[in-house]
Amino acid sequence: MISELIKQTAQYLVSARHAVALTGAGISVESGIPPFRGEGGLWEKYDPMEFAHINSFLKNPEKVWKIFMGDMKNVLMAAKPNDAHLGLARLERLGILKTIITQNVDGLHQMAGNTDVIEFHGNFAWLRCLKCNQRSKTIEVDLSDPPPKCACGGIFRPECVFFGEMIPPSALTRSQEESSRCDVMLVVGTSALVQPAAFMPVIARESGATVIEINPEPTPLTHRISTLFLAGKAGRVVNDILTEVERLIPSKTASC
């Protein structure tokens, strides 16, 4: 059953004119980064409104930096791309996958080699001063005594989008464009509960694309918006898809 779905997915991908992927926290679980929701999710440990809302951060940046971001920072900085990230990078090298829209802030798609990654919720690689707007690379800032501070004395915030904040307009516009122009959208490791990211597959489907979902658990998209649902962990499923894609286009793979 699953192998039939793998074959169909590979077929859709090799015939695609413009394939894109939408990824969520689930694609980075096998890299050791916990998701927000689901088994082992961060929300089992932290209350999202207390730690991931912009108002909580502005009210008490020291607390959010110390408790939540202190934990996140160590995990994010140690993480390496897994087979799913590497597989999507290979799909780009094969000329199949054009763009990734990611909700993740971990930078693992870029580390894997994808060159067009839309960071829908910003990233954790950069910090910005709340007072003077100066940006600094997270790895170059002393995080040992939170909250980290800029030379001007202002407190640094990460360049990721907190709950209660707007999506960066350029990321939103490009994501909407890519979603409406793609003919295949891979949706990997997202619970599809966070808006407006979860609306991108809806735009894709309404624009005529085939939406293919990879997730161990069904989501609100499953069998309603998604044409195919491949139940499983991202690393294994993406590997199986790649094997099949490479079988279908052996001449193309030799040079990549």
Cα–Cα distance, 101 to 227 (Å, whole number): 19
Contact between 74 and Zn ion (CB under 5 A)? Answer: no
Contact between 225 and ligand NAD (CB under 6 A)? Answer: no
> What's the closest the beta carbon of residue 134 comes to Zn ion, in angstroms?
5
* Of 150 and 203, CB closest to ligand NAD: 203
Residue 184 carries which side chain, given as an amino acid letter? V
Which residue is catalytic, options 85, 109, 121, 223?
A: 121
The SS3 call for residue 116 is coil
**Between β-strands 122-129 and 135-137, what pairing exists: parallel, antiparallel or unpaired?**
antiparallel
* Of 24 and 61, CB closest to ligand NAD: 24
Contact between 219 and ligand NAD (CB under 6 A)? Answer: yes
- Picked from ligand NAD, Zn ion, none, the partner binding residue 134 (CB below 5 to 8 A depending on kind) is Zn ion
Contact between 41 and ligand NAD (CB under 6 A)? Answer: yes
Contact 88, 109 (CB under 8 A): yes
**121 tagged catalytic:** yes
> What's the closest the beta carbon of residue 58 comes to Zn ion, in angstroms?
15
Cα–Cα distance, 25 to 189 (Å, whole number): 6
| Of 37, 63, 93, 252, the one binding ligand NAD by CB under 6 A | 37
Residue 82 carries which side chain, given as an amino acid letter? N
CA neighbor of 134 nearest in space, from 148, 115, 114, 122:
148
Contact between 6 and ligand NAD (CB under 6 A)? Answer: no
User: Which residues have CB under 8 Å from 209's CB, separation 6+?
Assistant: 179, 182, 183, 184, 185
Compute CA distances 117 → 153, 171, 174, 238, whole Å: 33, 10, 10, 18
Contact between 104 and ligand NAD (CB under 6 A)? Answer: yes
Cα–Cα distance, 17 to 241 (Å, whole number): 18
Contact between 35 and ligand NAD (CB under 6 A)? Answer: yes
- Picked from ligand NAD, Zn ion, none, the partner binding residue 150 (CB below 5 to 8 A depending on kind) is Zn ion
* Of 48 and 113, CB closest to ligand NAD: 48
* Binders in 119-158 for ligand NAD, by CB under 6 A: 121
Contact between 9 and ligand NAD (CB under 6 A)? Answer: no
Cα–Cα distance, 43 to 145 (Å, whole number): 25
| Of 9, 28, 56, 210, the one binding ligand NAD by CB under 6 A | 28
Contact 182, 212 (CB under 8 A): no
CA neighbor of 9 nearest in space, from 254, 234, 256:
234
Q: Which stretch binds ligand NAD (CB under 6 A): 7-15, 34-42, 55-63, 205-213?
A: 34-42
DSSP state of 172: H
**Contact residues for ligand NAD (CB under 6 A)?**
24-30, 33, 35-38, 41, 103-106, 121, 189-191, 193-194, 215-217, 219, 233-234
Catalytic residues: 121
